[in-house]
Structure 1
C-alpha cells in the first residue's frame, strides 16, 4: 500500500514524493530495494537530500502502565544534490541493508501483528518534511523460521507478538527495542508454564535466542519468570534436528528454576548465565521489565532445519499463526499517521 502526501512545508505547488518498495518480504540484514518517485511542483526546487527512515510501533512498560509510540531505528540517505524542474518526473532507485535485528512481521505469509514502516523525508532548499510512508514486510531468517517451526511441531500455539522498548541486559542487542513472540505452551509443558516468549537478536554470523517462561506456581512456590539464552549459527541451519534441540531448550528453561544466582559466565558453547536482564534506561521511554529471575542459559550452538511443513501439517503454519486477524494489522498501520511521539533512533 502506497501513501502520498503533499509536502506541507512547501505549500501548494510543492513537489510530491511517492516511495515504492519492491514486492515481497525482505529478511533481517537483507537488502531493501525500491525507488523514490518525485513529481515536480509549480516551480524548480533544489532537492538536497532524500532520506529513508525505518520506523516501528513499540510498547513501553512502566510500573503504573504502558504506552505505545513510533520509534525510528535506522536512517539512510539515498539521493539528493539535484534540481527538480517544474513538473519533472524523476525516479531515484535505492537498495539499503536492514539492521540484522529488524523484527519479523510475517511467518508463512501470515501477519504477526508487528507494524514496521519506511518513511521518506525530503530536504528541499533547507526545509524538511516527511512526505511518504510505506508498510515494511519482513520475513524470518532460516534460523528464525526453523526455531519457530520447531515450536509449532512440539505443539506450541501462537498467542501474540509485540515490540518492547528497552534493552535486555547482557546481550548484544543494538536496536532500542526487541521483539517478543508469545507462545502458548504445548500440552506436555502446560503444567509448568503459562506461556513462553521468544526473542531473536540476529547478527551477521548467528543469532541469540532468548526464551522467557512465565512459570506456574505450585502449592509451595509462587510463579515467576525464568529467562535463558542460547546462540545459534546461520551456517548450522541445515545440519541439526531443530525439534529435538528446541525441546531441550524448553526443558532446560523449566528445569533450571533453582539455578538463579549462578556465577557462570556467558559463552556460545555450554551452560552460561548472564545475570539479571535490565530493560530500559532510555529516559522517559525506559520501562521496568518483567525478567526478574534468570537461569542458566546457552545450550550448545547449532540448531538445525527440520523438514518443511506441508500444507495442513502440524506446524506453525497452522498451529501457531493460523488464527491471526488481518484487520487488526490494518488498524495498526493507520496508527502511523496519528502523530505518535518518536523515540530515539537505533544503531545500524
Structure 2
C-alpha cells in the first residue's frame, strides 16, 4: 500500500511525496530499494534533503502492564540539494542496507503480526514534514528459516510474534528492541514447558539465537523461565533438527535460577519501575548466557489513554507523529495512492 500526503507544513500548493518500495520482502542486512516520487507544487521549492526512516511498532513492559509505541531504528539520506520547479515531477531512486537485526515480518509469505514501516521525511526551505509512510516486508535469513523449519518438524507450532522494547544482556544486540517469536510446545515437551520464545540477533558474521522456556511447575515447585544463547554461522550446514532438539533439551533440563535480583535477572537493578523482575533465569550453558532487560530509567513514558510510549530518549518517535503512525499500524489505509 502506498500513502501520499501533502506537506502540511507548507500548506496548500506545496509539493507532495510518494515513496514506492520495490516489490518483495527484503532480508535483514539486505538492500532495500525503491523510488521517491515528488510532485512540485504551485511554486518552486528548494529540496534540502530526503530522509528515509525505519519505524517499528514495539511493546514496552512496566509495572502497570504493557504499552505500545513506535520506535525509529534507522535513518538514511536518500537525496536532496536540488530545486523542484513548479509542477515538476521527479523520481529519486534509493538503495539502502537494512540493519542485520531488522525483525522478520513474514514467513513463506504469511505475516507474523510484526509491523514495520518506512517513513519519508522531506526538508523543504527550512520546513520538515513526515510526508509518506509505507509498510516494510522482511523475510527471514536462510539460517533463521532453517531454525524455524526445524522447530516445525519437531512439532512446535507458531503462536505469535512481537517486538519488545529493551535489551538482552550478554548478547551483541544493537537495536533498542528485540523480536520474540512465541511457539507452542511439541508434544514431547508439553509436560515441561508452556511455550518457547525464540529471538534472533543477526550480525555480519552469523547469528545469536536466544531461547526462553516458560517452564511448568511441579507439585512442590513453581514454574519459572529459563534462557540460553547459542551462536550459528550464516553458511552453517548442520542437522538442524538434531541441533534444535539439543538446544531445547538443554534448555528445559537446566535448573535455572529464577526470581533473583542480580544483574542477570529480568530488569535486574535496571528496573525503571521499582518492580521485582519477571523471574527470568540465566543461560549458563550453550554458547553463553543471556538475560532480558526492560528500558532504563526515563526511557518509557505513557501517552495518556492511548497507552503509547512516545517522545522519549532511545528512539521513541515524538508524540506529534503518533496519530499518523497509529492509523497505519492499526491497519487503516489512510490516504490511498490514486495513481
Q: Same fold (TM over 0.5)?
A: yes
Query: Alpha carbon RMSD of aligned pairs, Å?
Result: 2.5
Correspondence for 2:117:
117
1:29 is matched with which residue?
29
CA contact (8 A) 1:60 1:68 kept: yes
Task: Tell me how far 1:64 sits from its aligned partner.
Answer: 1.5
Alpha carbons 1:168, 1:279 under 8 Å: kept: no
CA 18–287 in structure 1, closer or farther in 2 if over 3 Å, else same? farther
The whole-number CA distance in structure 2 between the counterparts of 1:33 and 1:157 is 33
The answer for unaligned runs of 5 or more in structure 1 is 262-273, 301-337
Distance 1:280 1:176, change over 3 A: farther
Give the structure 2 partner of residue 255 of structure 1.
253
Task: State the TM-score, normalized to the length of structure 2.
Answer: 0.82
TM-superposed CA distance for 1:283, in Å, is 7.0
Does residue 345 in structure 1 map to residue 315 in structure 2? yes
Q: Does the 8 A contact of 2:120 with 2:131 survive in 1?
A: yes
State the secondary structure of the residue aligned to 2:87.
Answer: coil
Tell me whether 1:38 sits opposite 2:26 in the alignment.
no
The aligned residue for residue 169 of structure 2 is 169
Matches within 5 A, 1:280-295: 290=278, 292-295=280-283
State whether residues 224 and 279 of structure 2, in contact with CA within 8 Å, keep that contact through their aligned partners in structure 1: no
In structure 2, the gaps of 5 or more residues are 289-306, 317-339
Asked if structure 1 preserves the Cα contact closer than 8 Å seen for 2:60 and 2:68, the reply is yes
- Pair 1:259–1:69, CA change in 2 (3 A): closer
Does residue 140 of structure 1 match 2:128?
Answer: no
Q: Aligned residue pairs: how many?
A: 294
Q: Which residue of 1 aligns with 2:242?
A: 244
Q: Distance in 1 between matches of 2:194 and 2:271?
A: 29
Question: RCO greater where, 1 or 2, for CA within 8 Å and sep 6 or more?
Answer: 1
Counterpart-to-counterpart distance in 2, 1:20 and 1:88: 18
Question: Secondary structure, in 3 states, of the residue corresponding to 2:139?
Answer: coil
Mark the CA change 1:258 to 1:45 in structure 2 (over 3 Å): closer, same or farther. closer
Report the TM-score when normalising by structure 1: 0.80
Cα-to-partner distance string for 1:197-227 (whole Å, 9 max, x where unaligned): 0000000010000000000000121100000
- Counterparts of 1:73 and 1:280, CA distance in 2: 25
| Separation in structure 2 between the aligned mates of residue 340 and residue 52 of structure 1, nearest angstrom | 22
1:182 partnered with 2:182: yes
**CA offsets 1:9-28 (integer angstroms, 9 cap, x no match):** 00000000000000000000
Deviations 1:310-341, CA, capped at 9 Å, x for gaps = xxxxxxxxxxxxxxxxxxxxxxxxxxxx9973
**Segments of 4+ moved more than 3 angstroms:** 258-261, 274-284, 286-291
Structure 1 counterpart SS, 2:243:
helix
